[in-house]
Each structure stands twice: as C-alpha cells, then as structure tokens.
Structure 1
C-alpha cells in the first residue's frame, strides 16, 4: 500500500483517480470492495474531530476492516514517547494508520518508521482528505474543475487553504485567496508552490469576483484559541454573506469544511441557502476516505 500524506505529494492523475473513485463509491455504497478484510487500522487523533473520525471509522468497517481509536491521552505519545518508537510498535501489530495531529513531520516520521500505509487526517500544514472530498463535490456538482475559479476566504495560510493551493497547482484551476496581508502565506511558500494559478488578494470583493466556488473555514483553528478576538476582528470583512456573494458567478456554490460558526466566517442565511452542497460535501468525507484506502490498496497512480 501507498501513503496519503499531502496534496503536495500527489500528481494530477492521482488526485483525479481518487476523486472519481470516491464518486463511484458514493453512487453504489452497497458494493464497497472488501479490501481491508482481516485488517485492523489505528486512528491516532491528537485533535478533536467529528466528520474525520466518523467517516474513517465507518469507512474502514465498510471496507471490511476493524478500527482501533486512540486519542493522545490513550497512548504514550501523550507522555512524550517519540513518534518513531510508537510507530515501530504499531507497525508490528496493526495494518494501517490514520493520524490527526499538529506537526506534518510527525505523520511523515510515523509512515517512515512504521512501514504502515499511513493517512494524514489533518496536520497544521495540510488537510488533504478534506480537499479531496471538496474536489469530489466539484466533480459531481460542477462537472469538474477545469476552467473553474475557486475563492478561499479568511485565514489564507491555514492547512485547508494550503491544501487548496497545492490542488490548484496540480490540477490547473484558478484559485483566489482572499485574506488580509497578515493572513496570507509567506513568499517562500508561494515560491515553492510555483504556479500562477493562485492569486493572493486583500480585497474580498475582488477575490470573489466571478468565482464558481466560494469557500471558507473557521477563523480560529485548533491551537489558536488565544488569538480568537483578534482574528475575528481582523477577518470580519472576509465573511461570506449575501452582499459578497453578489460578486461571485451567478450559479456559484458555497462550501465550508465545517464546523461552521454562523455570523462569523459565514452568515446563517448563506449557509442555509447552500446547506445542500455543504452537507453533500460533509458526506463526501466518507466516500473519499474509502476511495483513498482503495487507491492505496490497489497501488493506482
């Protein structure tokens, strides 16, 4: 099996294969292939979760496997055991791992030392599973991403925004990051990204102009709670509301990776108007997680 550690590490062909497989699995859930029969997978979560945990637990079971959930407090990682030591133990006992934690390096080190198929279920650097589910929405609702414009509003240097940027770089669609200067990715990251498909824009109306997808995430990510009041004040102009949506394409869809804090990053009115898409997006987490594991098991590229 392969690993799924980041969007950055994927090719356009690999992203497309996972998204199309996820769409197929959504259409025919009852025919889920039993690629994990006889296997036990560990979910190692150092950050709280609803959609990620439920989708992986249900998905692994539907693929024929068993699941062991381990929070940070459940393991010696919570007492300071090195990641590489935990990895070498679990690598001798379970068949795969899904990790939701802070440092990207921890996920990469776990994969290296465990020799297990490893999935990044969120780090501070990337959230690849979320963006694959989002791309599946574009595939199903918009017919794909070619010729489309996505606008991400809010903290433009968060893990979700960074994964969107890598997706645009790999797939070639246009992406506008609407964020104040202090919340834009640094020059070094943009240089590493190496694409003209991603535009940084401080004016939210210009960022949204003509967008087919208007996207946001929470303004206060886990670990940033002490900055809550300051972040909310600075990011107010980037709220998705009815006025801002007037600048988007006529049939634009709104997406939110959830949980949503209504009247902060998005108004209740707009969220409810686009609830069908937003909760379709949430459901896609199940189907794309299954697709990721099937793709890893088949060694597709």
Structure 2
C-alpha cells in the first residue's frame, strides 16, 4: 500500500508541496462532512497518541483530543510538569522513549528545534501544534475556512494586519505563497517579517502564481482583499511588551473603517483566537485599566459582524488536525499527489 504521507511528520508548511497541502485541506473538508453525518472514520483504531503541551491551549488541545478519539485512537495528555523534556532528559532521549510507546506525537511549545528533534528521534509521525516559528495545523484549518467561503483558493488575496513576525504571520505568508494565494503582510516597518521568510515566500509565489507584499500602508495593503486576518498583538511570553505593541499596532486595528477600505463586499474576517475584542477577560480588563484601551487587534463590532469567520476556523482546527493525523499515521491509500 503506497502513501506519500505515511510516516511523515508535519512540522512546517514549507515541507509540503502545493498538491499535498491542497489534499490535506480537501481531506479535512471530507472528514468534516463525515462527522456531520455521524459516519465513523476510525483510521487510527487501536493506536495511542501522545499530546505534549509545554504551552497552554484551548483549540489545539481540544482539537487533538477529539480528533484522536474520533479516529479511534487513545489520546494521552502530557503537560509541562508531567515529563522531563529538555530538563532531566534530552529531547532526543524523550523522543526515542515516546516513539516506542506511541504511534504519533503532538508537540506544542516554544522551540521549533525541539519539535524537529522529536521528529528525528521518535520514529513515528510528529505534529507541530504550535511553535514560535510556525503554526501549520492552524493553516490547514484556515485555508479550509477560506475554501468553504469562496469555493477555491488560488488567486484570492489575504491581508494580514498586525504583528508581521509572529508564527501565524510566518505560516500565512509561506502557506499562501505555496497555494497560489496573494498574501499581504500589513504591519509597521519595525515588525516586518524576517527576510528569509519573505524570500521563501517569493520563491513559492513565483512557482504558484501568487504574490507576496509587505507594507506598512494600511489602505494600500487591504484594498481588494478577500480575507482580512489578524492575530493578538502580544504573543505568549511577550506580555511585558503590551504598551509598546499597542502604540505600534493601534493604526492596524481591524475595525469597520479598515473593513470598508477593502472595497470588497464579499470580504471575510479571520482570527486564530484568542482575541482581545472586549474587556471580558483578565487581560482585557488589565489593558483597559492600564492603557485605557477597550479593544485591541479587532473591534467588538467586527468580531461579532457578518464578516466574521473565527469560530468556523476554530471548529475547522478539529477537521484539519484529523486529516493530518489520519494521512500520516493511518496507513491510508493515497495516490501520489
């Protein structure tokens, strides 16, 4: 039985071709339909999956847990205080141990090098649930959401407004370029993405027919966009930079005026969550009390509007992760793509 995915890890989008990423998006859409119809799809029956979480999570943990269960496997959660990863035991040794006990390993943490070392030593598929560099499972969910709305991907335009050098911006830039989607990173010059990421994006875009644009000009960056995407201004571990980020990024806040600047009535809004769109969280209350700001990267008006697709994205994390796990660990027959 031949599968181009079998046994592969999913560490970064750049490791997969346009056809392979498109297959995962389409497979995720198929699995979503199967779940909605209550059709069983236990491609991982009898297997055990390790879920390593050095960083806290809502969507990633819930999606991996439910996806593992739906696929017929057993999920085992291992939090930051549950194992010795990188403290009393090396990443390599941990990978070798877990690889002998589990059929697949998810890792969510800071370091891309850690998830890479796990993949090199475990001997089973390893899936990147998020690192500081990339967020690949999010991308399959995101482009599934876009495909559901527009029916296709190639030729569409995404404008990402916010911190241009975080993991989501990196992943959006590269994944869009691979898929032939036009990507614009709209961000202050001080937060431009790394030159190597931009160069990688241009290389992929030259092959796919997409375009890559980095700009600090909001009106130019969002004009004609099909998708407006944003993310938190302060990533996990950067909380000390709240004040500086607010000053830098307030002009890039996704509000109704910015939506109207797209001049596209079919535009949709996306956010990978969590979002600071009100003061109903401790972070939101602290920001309001300290900096006098009620909303950050997106206004409550846009967040609750008809443009918004962030909860579709959140649900699609489940179906995307399920597709990735089944394709790489499920012994499926998948013709070469």
TM-score strictly above 0.5: yes
In structure 2, the CA distance between the partners of 1:8 and 1:285, relative to structure 1 (3 Å rule), is same
In structure 2, the CA distance between the partners of 1:274 and 1:129, relative to structure 1 (3 Å rule), is farther
Question: Which residue of the partner structure matches residue 199 of structure 1?
Answer: 213
1:261 to 252, 255, 276: 276
Question: Which residue of the partner structure matches residue 62 of structure 2?
Answer: 54
Question: Which residue of the partner structure matches residue 247 of structure 1?
Answer: 261
Question: Which residue of the partner structure matches residue 22 of structure 1?
Answer: 28
Cα displacement (A) at 1:32? 3.9
In structure 2, what is the Cα distance between the partners aligned to 1:256 and 1:32? Answer: 30
- Residue-by-residue CA offset, 1:169-222 (whole Å, 9 max, x unaligned): 211111110000111113233223324611001011211111000000001001
In structure 1, what is the Cα distance between the partners aligned to 2:85 and 2:155? Answer: 45
In structure 2, what is the Cα distance between the partners aligned to 1:299 and 1:222? Answer: 39
Q: Helix, strand or coil: the match of 1:74?
A: coil
Alpha-carbon contact 2:107-2:115 (below 8 Å) kept: yes
How many correspondences in the alignment? Answer: 301
Q: Helix, strand or coil: the match of 1:135?
A: helix
Q: Helix, strand or coil: the match of 1:215?
A: strand
In structure 2, the CA distance between the partners of 1:274 and 1:77, relative to structure 1 (3 Å rule), is farther
1:289 aligns with 2:303: no
1:235 aligns with 2:272: no
Alpha-carbon contact 1:72-1:78 (below 8 Å) kept: no
In structure 2, the CA distance between the partners of 1:276 and 1:255, relative to structure 1 (3 Å rule), is closer
Q: Helix, strand or coil: the match of 1:92?
A: helix
Deviating more after overlay: 106-115 vs 225-234: 225-234
For structure 2, the 5+ residue unaligned runs are 1-6, 278-294
Cα displacement (A) at 1:299? 6.8
Question: Which residue of the partner structure matches residue 217 of structure 1?
Answer: 231
Alpha-carbon contact 2:52-2:108 (below 8 Å) kept: yes
In structure 2, what is the Cα distance between the partners aligned to 1:261 and 1:36? Answer: 37
Deviating more after overlay: 187-196 vs 149-158: 187-196
Cα displacement (A) at 1:91? 1.1
The two structures, once aligned, show a CA RMSD in angstroms of 1.4
Question: Which residue of the partner structure matches residue 140 of structure 2?
Answer: 132
In structure 1, what is the Cα distance between the partners aligned to 2:105 and 2:13? Answer: 18
In structure 2, the CA distance between the partners of 1:78 and 1:225, relative to structure 1 (3 Å rule), is farther
Cα displacement (A) at 1:275? 7.2
Cα displacement (A) at 1:80? 4.3
In structure 2, the CA distance between the partners of 1:80 and 1:180, relative to structure 1 (3 Å rule), is farther
In structure 2, what is the Cα distance between the partners aligned to 1:172 and 1:130? Answer: 18
Alpha-carbon contact 1:25-1:32 (below 8 Å) kept: no
Compute the TM-score of the two structures, normalised by the length of structure 1.
0.96
Question: Which residue of the partner structure matches residue 12 of structure 2?
Answer: 6
Cα displacement (A) at 1:81? 2.2
1:145 aligns with 2:153: yes
In structure 2, what is the Cα distance between the partners aligned to 1:43 and 1:64? Answer: 15
Question: Which residue of the partner structure matches residue 179 of structure 1?
Answer: 187
- List, as ranges, runs of 4+ consecutive aligned residues in structure 1 with deviation greater than 2 Å: 78-81, 186-189, 191-196, 297-301
